[in-house]
Amino acid sequence: EVQLVESGGGLVQPGRSMKLSCAASGFTFSNYGMAWVRQAPTKGLEWVATISYDGSSTYYRDSVKGRFTISRDNAKSTLYLQMNSLRSEDTATYYCTRERLRVMDAWGQGASVTVSS
């Protein structure tokens, strides 16, 4: 069974940093691209970043470029999202997703991030 389990969320002050992790199991992690998608309270889904299966390519939405870094450790089957210079508009539930052939076919349960003083 495919499982994606996010961790590392919580309350953080504006301007500070936070790192999310996503532990993957039930599939060969190194064969799949991975992505982060977020959902602000009561809002819709918003793609944040994608990383290729081997980490050689990364893509970001404009509003997080230069502040967020997506990375992966294939030996540990873990995906990361390093978030720096956090803003109130980054407050959301962050979902880890598996992406293959342009389809997000598995989702984690989400990690809540609240940016507030």
Partner 1 sequence: DIVMTQGALPNPVPSGESVSITCRSSKSLLYSDGKTYLNWYLQRPGQSPQLLIYWMSTRASGVSDRFSGSGSGTDFTLKISGVEAEDVGVYYCQQGLEFPRTFGGGTKLELK
Q: Which two tokens stand for residue 52?
A: 């290729």
Among 12, 20, 34, 35, binds partner 1 (CB under 8 A): 35
CB closer to partner 1 out of 79 and 104: 104
CB closer to partner 1 out of 9 and 110: 110
- Within 68-107, which residues bind partner 1 (CB under 8 A)? 95, 102-107
For position 13 contacting partner 1 by CB under 8 A, the verdict is: no
Candidates 19-27, 56-64, 68-76, 84-92 — which segment interacts with partner 1 by CB under 8 A?
56-64
Give me the residues that bind partner 1 (CB under 8 A), please.
35, 37, 44-47, 50, 59, 61-62, 95, 102-110
